[in-house]
Structure 1
Amino acid sequence: MTTTRFRHVRQRTLELCAGLSAEDMLLQSMPDASPAKWHLAHTSWFFEQFVLGRDPAFRPRDPAWNYLFNSYYQSVGPMHARPQRGLLSRPSLDEVRDYRHYIDDAVSNLLSRHDDPELAALVELGLQHEQQHQELLLTDIKHAFWSNPLQPAYRTPIAPTVANTVPLRFVDGNEGIVEVGHRGEGFAFDNETPRHRSLLHPHALANRLVTNAEYRAFVREGGYREPGLWLSDGWATVQREGWQHPLYWQDDLASEFTLAGVRALDPHEPACHLSYYEAEAFARWAGARLPTEAEWESAAQGVAIDGNLQDEQRFQPRAASAGEGLLQLYGDVWEWTASPYVSYPGFRPLPGSLGEYNGKFMCGQWVLRGGSCVTPREHLRASYRNFFPPHARWQFAGLRLGQDR
């Protein structure tokens, strides 16, 4: 672990906030989202708690902030209620930025003095955690700006995609016994382990993601009015919430809200900001199904991690380019799978408080794969398992179709 990588990832978070005002960074538009200022503080608290706190002589910058900026680590201590993070006008933004600099200097100093594999592993976990919050920061500020009647832009408008839709076709997947899960080289979260065998039945995956035009046809043909297409909980959610189209689409089905403001809906771009319920209903309507996570991972193993990711700074899904095989495996939108988020055979969470990171959420959530246009490239790998509850829509999530053979 080098201080260069540590500083680079930490600086990237600040860069994502460069165009935001102090008022922007205090916004919390719904309980599932967090203010940008809280993201800056919480990611620093993580290093303070789990890296610097290993030293018995270390003293926190402000002990009261342990309560403010803990997220869900019950074994560490109590925490401020998540839906009320937007009420934390104090500490000020300047104080939070000073806190980040303080933590950056302390961790950098520690890394320069110790060549310790255990320390390096903890810092790497902290950086991977920070990259998750970089993505959350962008998804959360998008929801906050959309909630504003002015619907302001986070960034300057992006150039429209000049492309035609790649024809949809299905590519046969691997079948029989395959191995999935992290291979052991490089970083992985505990929920990606252990590597194990899985049985795949004959199946095929769509060569690309479902497009806006295809999803709009589902909407126009009454997809949100036909209960037979929906899971029971999904239909109840549609009725309760009054869903009629994807989250950021305008009612005219011709425009959508993006991080660059409202723009015309590009029919060739991947459909985005869909819940699991919507993705599953569309797949039924299309006479297909969602892939399992084992099917997706088996197809993605050995494929270079390339695509429309955060590094491109487009922050918006992009139409597929013509090519052979499976396109858009990485980037653009997270792909909902048909797999519930449960442990792998032989799973063991990390020891101590860090064991709360993933394992305790293995109930009532569904797995997504592949990353999105706001995911850092170096954060991804074929075995990466994202997870959200089935009603979640504010993430950059879409779908790829699968089918049995």
Structure 2
Amino acid sequence: MNAVDQDTARPPSPSERYRAVRRHSEALIDGLSAEDCLLQSMPEASPLKWHLAHTSWFFETFVLERALADHAPFRPDYRMLFNSYYVGVGERMPRPERGMLSRPPLDEVLAYRGWIDQRVLALLDSAAGADWRELIELGLQHEQQHQELMLTDLKHHFWRNPLHPAYRPAPAAADPAAGPLEFIDYAGGLVEIGHGGQLRPGSDFSFDNERPVHRCWLAPYALASRLVCNAEYLEFMRDGGYARPELWLSDGWEACRRGQWQAPLYWQPAEGHGGWRLFTLHGDELLPPDRPVCHLSYYEADAYARWAGARLPTEAEWEHAARLASAGAEPAPLQLFGRAWQWTASAYLPYPGFRPDAGAVGEYNGKFMIDQMVLRGSSVFTPPGHARPGYRNFFPAATRWQCSGLRLARDPG
């Protein structure tokens, strides 16, 4: 039996899973300099060094400090430097100033990660380890979220550099043809949305904002068979989409005017190929027409949907279709996962009966349930194994630096 067969036959142990997730974070900085890891191109993005430290801070603050009576911190000042938004934990380094942290140096942050790993793995292998597996799994899922943020943040950091450096070489495989966009009909009815299972590390995890499972009524609806691609979005632009206020929500039109938006983020005017080039983590390239359009704000996605005579799906519609697809229903929508996050028409609000996790760790999701819109699916930057039908991503409506695209929906008839 080869290694792949073994992995398929036996789920990883908690220690193996911990090691794999933590190694992946450090693999993301392979080939980068310490200077690359300190960049902060805007207040919403963080330096990669900060991500590496903060994800370790999470394990120290919420696991080791509580599990080990004799725990002594790696450095006491890390408690403030690498706290993100946990008010219940204490003081925080202001988010827009994380790029000021030239000290501690990257080597020390990596040493901190090793120090944390040694202690968490010892805890997992101890008699008390089973009592902390659920919280450690939460920390790993949190780290996987930051792994995606490391890539989206780095892309913006490099975009702001006039040299437009490449992070890694481009993959050899070409984008597949988009194919026709069709609509799949769903009968709707009384459906179950949300997560209701018990936590099984690595296999049945859910964040508190995915719970509890609840019923909701869906009118009949239709969902596009795939995501909107670059060539289709370019037609919206050529038809004056960015200059037609009747297509835009009021706040979206103001954001569009204020930001002088003329195209999705990372598009650049160029000769030929539709007149545009695209900045990617592999450097600049000609705009690929069949690739799903991404780096759209909610406002742009909503305006395109109006222009196309359609709308954005609600998150319940999206999840219902995704769960049917995962159960083998045919026909199933394509590109649900792994290409671009998909804006929905749903505000980020608590499910009926929502209860945040207890303690300071409960600040993780619930307190952001205001002025945000829900995205569903996952993107090319999402780490393997992290996506699932019930996952609720969320960002403010004007956000463009995340890998966010759109899937159309419409009512029958």
Match in the other structure for 2:22: 10
Mapped to 2, the partners of 1:40 and 1:161 lie a distance apart of: 32
The letter of the residue matching 2:405 is G
Match in the other structure for 1:244: 262
Question: Which range is displaced more, 361-370 or 159-168?
Answer: 159-168
**1:328-387 alpha-carbon deviations (Å, 9 max, x no partner):** 111100000000000000000000001100000000000000000011231121111000
Match in the other structure for 1:310: none
The letter of the residue matching 2:321 is A
1:365 correspondence with 2:365: no
Equivalent of 1:37 in 21, 44, 49: 49
Equivalent of 1:303 in 316, 325, 336: 325
The letter of the residue matching 2:387 is L
User: Contact (CA 8 Å) 1:297, 1:383: kept in 2 or not?
Assistant: yes
Mapped to 2, the partners of 1:254 and 1:37 lie a distance apart of: 33
Secondary structure of 1:377's aligned partner:
coil
Secondary structure of 2:284's aligned partner:
strand
1:75 correspondence with 2:75: no
Matches for 1:5-404 after TM superposition, within 5 Å: 5-54=17-66, 55-159=68-172, 161=174, 163-185=176-198, 186-252=204-270, 253-304=275-326, 324-404=331-411
User: Contact (CA 8 Å) 1:305, 1:380: kept in 2 or not?
Assistant: no
Q: Measured at CA, do residues 305 and 373 of structure 1 come closer, stay the same or move farther in structure 2, by a change above 3 Å?
A: farther
Mapped to 2, the partners of 1:69 and 1:236 lie a distance apart of: 35
Question: Which range is displaced more, 25-34 or 179-188?
Answer: 179-188
**1:136-183 alpha-carbon deviations (Å, 9 max, x no partner):** 000000000010000000001223525332101100124111000013
Shift of 1:19: 1.6
The letter of the residue matching 1:73 is Y
Question: Which range is displaced more, 290-299 or 174-183?
Answer: 174-183
Secondary structure of 1:331's aligned partner:
coil
Mapped to 1, the partners of 2:113 and 2:327 lie a distance apart of: 30
Secondary structure of 1:348's aligned partner:
coil
User: Contact (CA 8 Å) 1:305, 1:381: kept in 2 or not?
Assistant: no
**1:62-82 alpha-carbon deviations (Å, 9 max, x no partner):** 111111000000000010000
User: Contact (CA 8 Å) 2:348, 2:373: kept in 1 or not?
Assistant: yes
User: Contact (CA 8 Å) 1:370, 1:382: kept in 2 or not?
Assistant: yes
Shift of 1:35: 0.2
Question: How many pairs align?
Answer: 389
Shift of 1:56: 3.2
Mapped to 1, the partners of 2:381 and 2:194 lie a distance apart of: 24
Q: Measured at CA, do residues 66 and 107 of structure 1 come closer, stay the same or move farther in structure 2, by a change above 3 Å?
A: same
The letter of the residue matching 1:395 is Q
Q: Which runs of 5+ in 2 are unaligned?
A: 1-12, 199-203
Match in the other structure for 2:8: none
Question: Which range is displaced more, 251-260 or 45-54?
Answer: 251-260
TM-score (normalizing by structure 1):
0.94
Match in the other structure for 2:9: none
Mapped to 2, the partners of 1:12 and 1:164 lie a distance apart of: 31
Match in the other structure for 1:315: none
User: Contact (CA 8 Å) 2:40, 2:98: kept in 1 or not?
Assistant: yes
**Structure 1 segments of 4+ aligned residues over 4 angstroms from their partners:** none
Secondary structure of 2:228's aligned partner:
coil
Match in the other structure for 2:201: none
Mapped to 2, the partners of 1:384 and 1:162 lie a distance apart of: 26
Shift of 1:305: 11
Q: Measured at CA, do residues 305 and 157 of structure 1 come closer, stay the same or move farther in structure 2, by a change above 3 Å?
A: farther
Mapped to 1, the partners of 2:35 and 2:127 lie a distance apart of: 40
Shift of 1:4: 1.0
Shift of 1:59: 1.2
Percent identity between the two aligned chains: 58
